[in-house]
């Protein structure tokens, strides 16, 4: 997935109108957005098509799919039917559940991102202990897209070593969670930034300044 300026906007706002306003302000700087449960639950899956049609964005649905295989299949199917270009699933549920997501992504000719380790402090309690094994499982399954944290560069580096240089990694945690975007991009293909942009008084300027700090503009 080619991502403009190596930057994905995490659009965790709660209304279509706010989403459109923010997207309008940053559309010249990004071409990929990540939508999670907050916006999807508030506005329905229709919001995916609305934003794609209006701005031409690629949409990654961060639903962290983590159920049994039969349920995962249904979640992914509906998400891809709604127009998503990619979906994120958890790996801790095991290969059968992940395979259901991968199979559905392949059926729709879309992409799957495997979440290895999250960016918040609580991820150290359980996820971190198994993140390397999750990443290796993904490699064994032929998965090429991963999510790994910008907040712990040592862990991000470890995951990069496991999945290989040809894999595509996106990393949340830059900005409000303290991750350094430029250092993160030494290991990741793209950073995910949310609140630092959408909570800003001037999202356009915040977006531009962030890109300038990465020396990518």
| Distance, CA of 75 to CA of 65 (rounded, Å) | 8
Task: Supply the DSSP symbol for 31.
Answer: S
Known active-site residue 81: no
Using an 8 Å Cβ cutoff, are 54 and 20 in contact?
A: yes
Between the CA atoms of 109, 89, 173 and 18, what dihedral angle is there, to the nearest 10 degrees?
70
What phi and psi, each to the nearest 5 degrees, are found at residue 199? -95, -5
Using an 8 Å Cβ cutoff, are 169 and 146 in contact?
A: yes
The residue from 4, 64, 99, 208 that is catalytic is: 64
Using an 8 Å Cβ cutoff, are 118 and 150 in contact?
A: no
Nearest Cα neighbor of 119 from 149, 97, 94 is 149
Positions annotated as catalytic residues are 64
């Amino acid at each position: 997935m080619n991502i403009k300026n190596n930057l994905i906007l995490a659009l965790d706002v709660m209304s279509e109108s706010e989403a459109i306003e923010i997207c309008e302000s940053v559309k010249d700087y990004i071409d990929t957005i990540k939508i999670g449960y907050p916006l999807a639950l508030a506005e329905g899956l229709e919001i995916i098509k609305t934003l794609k049609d209006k701005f031409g964005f690629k949409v990654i649905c961060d639903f962290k799919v983590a159920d049994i295989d039969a349920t995962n299949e249904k979640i992914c199917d509906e998400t891809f039917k709604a127009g998503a270009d990619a979906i994120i699933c958890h790996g801790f549920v095991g290969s059968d559940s992940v395979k259901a997501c991968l199979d559905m992504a392949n059926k729709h000719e879309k992409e799957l991102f495997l979440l290895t380790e999250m960016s918040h402090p609580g991820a150290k309690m359980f996820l971190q202990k198994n993140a390397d094994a999750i990443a290796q499982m993904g490699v064994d399954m032929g998965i090429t897209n991963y999510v790994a944290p910008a907040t712990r560069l040592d862990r991000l580096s470890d995951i990069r070593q496991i999945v290989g240089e040809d894999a595509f990694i996106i990393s949340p945690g830059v900005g409000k969670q303290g991750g350094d975007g430029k250092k993160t991009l030494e290991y990741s293909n793209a950073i995910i930034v949310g609140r630092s942009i959408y909570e800003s008084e001037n999202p356009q300027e915040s977006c531009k300044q962030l890109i300038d700090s990465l020396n990518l503009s």
